[in-house]
């Protein structure tokens, strides 16, 4: 295949631009903000799940508290009734000792139930405090997520502008290159990723392998417009590039 040295150099320039676009797209896909956003949003999901769990736990414990309050109220009602009977002197001597014993038992029972009630209330307070912490963390995470999203979008937009500029420059260059040479380049690049490479100091810049002496001597005998390919990686080998 024949192609002018200038066309071959332009193919090399197109390869440079294709590599740059691929590098930029990889950079855009691996922005540190993407990982940061994933970490932040994952934690946000966990925090919200923990809030739901805490609220459910509070609801369950409130049912327990309601039962405890009912138990205390029942004992208090019985105690009040018995204390009135003691105070009005309506209880006969025979039942007085029994009533006094019952009053003491109820006082002890009320104290025990009030301790249980207090313990339940303290559990609720502890969970509410934890819930407040989770809500505060949620607010912080939402703010952080929005900030990271903004940074990511700014970085992405900058890269997209650079990609668009490079793609436009490539299209402009490709429009002036020999079509047959360009088609060969595209075919090789689609197959191996590298369609063209410069030959420098007896090496192929595509595979970075040295070209054997026999091949080098052969290349020296070829006309400048002869299109040659690397024996190792098969990309278009552009001679005369600086």
Q: What is the pLDDT of residue 28?
A: 98
Residue 29 pLDDT grade (very low, low, confident, very high; cuts 50, 70, 90): very high
Strand order in the sheet with 196-200: 203-204, 196-200, 236-238, 228-229
Q: In a 3-state reduction of DSSP, which class is residue 238?
A: strand
In this structure, of 38-42, 78-82, 142-146, 227-231, the range with the lowest mean pLDDT score is 78-82
Answer whether residue 242 shows pLDDT above 70.
no
pLDDT at 95: 73
* pLDDT reported for residue 92: 67
Measured distance CA(8)–CA(21) in Å, rounded: 20
User: Measured between alpha carbons, how far is residue 235 from residues 13, 113, 229, 231 in Å?
Assistant: 14, 87, 5, 8
Question: For the segment 50-102, what is each residue's pLDDT rounded down to a tens digit?
Answer: 999 999 999 999 999 999 999 899 999 988 888 887 877 766 666 787 878 88
CA angle at 37 for the pair 32 and 43, rounded to the nearest 5° = 135
What's residue 84's pLDDT?
A: 84
Please compute the mean of the pLDDT values over residues 192-197 and round it to a whole number.
94
Mean pLDDT of 173-198: 96
Does the domain made of 31-164 have the CATH classification 2.90.10.10? no
Answer whether residue 15 shows pLDDT above 80: yes
| Domains in the chain: boundaries | 5-24+178-238, 31-164
Q: What is the DSSP string of 208-229?
A: -PBPPHHHHHHHHHS-TTB-EE
Share of the chain above pLDDT 70, in %: 97
pTM of the model: 0.76
Give the model confidence (pLDDT) of 132-161 as tens digits: 999 999 999 999 999 999 999 999 999 999
Which DSSP string corresponds to 163-208? HHHHHHHHHHHHTTS-HHHHHHHHHHHHHHS--EEEEETTEETTT-
113 Cβ neighbours under 8 A, 6+ residues apart: 68, 71, 72, 75
- What mean pLDDT is predicted for residues 209-235? 93
Chain centroid to CA 178? 46
């Amino acid at each position: 295949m024949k192609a002018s040295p200038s066309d071959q150099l332009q193919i090399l320039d197109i390869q440079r631009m294709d590599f740059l676009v691929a590098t930029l797209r990889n950079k855009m896909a691996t922005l540190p903000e993407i990982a940061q956003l994933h970490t932040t949003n994952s934690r946000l999901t966990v925090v919200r799940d923990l809030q739901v769990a805490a609220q459910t736990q509070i609801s369950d414990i409130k049912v327990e508290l309601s039962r405890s309050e009912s138990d205390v109220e029942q004992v208090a009602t019985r105690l009040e009734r018995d204390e009135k009977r003691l105070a009005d002197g309506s209880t006969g001597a025979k039942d007085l000792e029994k009533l006094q014993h019952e009053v003491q038992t109820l006082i002890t029972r009320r104290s025990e139930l009030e301790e249980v009630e207090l313990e339940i209330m303290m559990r609720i307070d502890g969970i509410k405090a934890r819930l407040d912490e989770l809500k505060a963390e949620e607010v912080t995470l939402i703010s952080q997520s929005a900030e990271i999203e903004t940074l990511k979008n700014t970085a992405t937009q900058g890269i997209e502008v650079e990609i668009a500029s490079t793609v436009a420059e490539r299209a402009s260059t490709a429009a002036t290159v020999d079509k047959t040479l360009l088609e060969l380049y595209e075919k090789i690049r689609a197959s191996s990723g590298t369609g063209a490479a410069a030959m420098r100091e007896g090496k192929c810049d595509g595979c970075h392998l040295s070209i054997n002496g026999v091949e080098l001597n052969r290349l020296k005998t070829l006309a400048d417009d002869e299109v040659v390919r690397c024996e190792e990686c098969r990309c278009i080998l552009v001679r005369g590039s600086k």
